[in-house]
Structures are given as C-alpha cells and as structure tokens.
Amino acid sequence: MITAIIQARLGSTRLPGKVLKPIFGKPMLEHLLLRAKRANTLDKIIVATTDNPEDKAVAELAEKCGVGFFCGSEKDVLDRYYQAVKIRQPADDDAIVRITGDCPLADPKVIDDVVNFYLQNQDKYDYVSNVHPPTYPDGMDAEVFPFKLFERVWKEARLESEREHVTPYFYNHPEIFRIGNRKYKKDVSAIRLTVDNPEDLILVEKVFSAVSSKNPNFGLEEILEYLEQNPDLLGMNKHIQRNKGYKKSLTEDLKQY
C-alpha cells in the first residue's frame, strides 16, 4: 500500500488561506489533489489538516475531491501525519509519500518517478526524495519512506523543526537512515513553482492560464517549455528563499536549549 499524505491548512502566515485561493477556476488544493490522483503509484491520498474550525473547509474539499482527510494538531505536523496514517492500520512496509499542499503544479509523473525509484531501491535506501539536494523546481517535491521507520521518527524526533516539518529527522540522521535522492536530468532547482507568497500565486496563475489551455493534463516538461519562452516571469519570485519556513524553525530550535 502506498499512501500520499498532503498537509494543508488555512493558517498560512505569508499568504493566509492560500490552499483555497482560486487558480484558474478551482481552489489551489483542488488542483493539487486532481493532479495527485493521476499518479499511478498512489493507492490512497489523505489530506492532513488541523482540528481548527476554519480548516473544516479543507476537509470538505478533500471529501469533495474523493480523497480521505484527517484533522489533527496544528503545530505538531509530524504527529498529524502519523495519526493520519496510523488510524488506517498500515503494515510496516507500507510506503508513505509526503507532498505539501502549496504545490498546485505537482506533476503526477514526477511523483511516480520518485516512488518507483524508492520501490526499486528499498535494499539501498530507507528514505528517498527529490530534494536532497534539489534539482527539480521548488514545488515538485516528493518524499517516500516506509511506515515502520516513520513510526520511529515520530517517537524520536524532539526538535521543533523536526515536528513542524515532518521529515528532517530522516535526512539529518544519515548515521541511522540510508538517504537516497532522485535527480532530474538537469538542475532547474532555481525555478520556484510553489505558492507561499502573493508573487508565487501570480506566477502559478499565469502558468495555469497559458499551459492548461493547450493540455489540461500538462506536466513539468510543458511548464519548463513555457517558462523558457517567457523567462521574464521567473523574475517575479526569484528573490524568495527556498524552504524559508524550515530555516525559521531551525532558529526556534536554538531556544529549546
């Protein structure tokens, strides 16, 4: 069983309510869910949102899109992920795929590629992603790991950054876990396709408007072709730091000691 967990909530500090912001006629999260559902490797998709009353709308959208949902802790996102999986009584070797809710352009082919790389290399790796180091655009991220080891992470992770961002305990402990990375054919990691700021949203809207009119099921290749033809668009959000939220959490870790 391969289960994708997508974290999503309305309480974003830099762009409040972003997961339900309309893009080309649909909420941002709906675009992501519909695209993730086209990934051939995923048996189940669950939206992990919070138990805050405002996030009831997120759960309702998940239900509308025909995927599962779980409402849990707002701050302890690691626990929210774990409980979303645990309640479904997974086997130890079931694979968990982490996707974040601010990636409406996620390519199902990229998800499948990362998952298949994990499945083909389970004798070599415990944790596989396409972001350590990144070569794909920001917004095409996928991480895969078995439930048994994820349960260990849930038990052992203590730092705020590890609880808020779910997977750092994996890649910060290569002495415990075998870390694998799926590279793209070229390094396009400077391109930002995630949505965390107003500038990101404008760029993604332009991509949807231009590319989906030619192919509703467009993927990364079509996106890169469009941006290559319109390089000025990349200047809209290139000043925004990748993984800014995680780096902020690292500073909070220092306050714990």
- The predicted-structure confidence for 207-219, as pLDDT tens digits, reads as follows 999 999 889 999 9
Closest by alpha carbon to 143, among 154, 157, 132, 135?
132
pLDDT attached to residue 244 = 56
The per-residue pLDDT for range 109-139, each reduced to its tens digit, is 999 999 999 999 999 999 999 999 999 999 9
Q: Residue 255: what pLDDT?
A: 58
- Per-domain residue ranges of the chain: 2-256
C-alpha span between 160 and 103 (Å, rounded): 23
pLDDT at 163 over 80: yes
| Mean pLDDT of the 214-227 span | 96
Please provide the average confidence, as pLDDT, over all residues in the chain: 93
Q: What is the pLDDT of residue 251?
A: 55
Beta bridge partners, 253, equal none
Instruction: Report residue 15's pLDDT band, with 50, 70 and 90 as the boundaries.
Output: confident
State yes or no: pLDDT of 245 exceeds 70: no
pLDDT greater than 80 at residue 243: no
User: What percentage of residues in the chain have a pLDDT greater than 70?
Assistant: 94
Which pLDDT value is given to residue 250? 52
Contacts (Cβ under 8 Å, ≥6 apart) of 9: 19, 49, 50, 52, 55, 58, 74, 101
* Fold category of 2-256 in CATH: Spore Coat Polysaccharide Biosynthesis Protein SpsA; Chain A (3.90.550)
- For residue 254, what pLDDT is reported? 52
Please check the confidence at residue 32 and state whether its pLDDT lies above 80.
yes
The predicted structure's pLDDT at residue 2: 98
Query: For residue 249, is pLDDT > 60?
Result: no
Q: How confident is the model at residue 242 (pLDDT cuts 50, 70, 90)?
A: confident
Of 173, 131, 135, 143, which is closest to residue 156 (Cα–Cα)? 173
Amino acid occupying residue 245: G
> Residue 94: is its pLDDT beyond 80?
yes
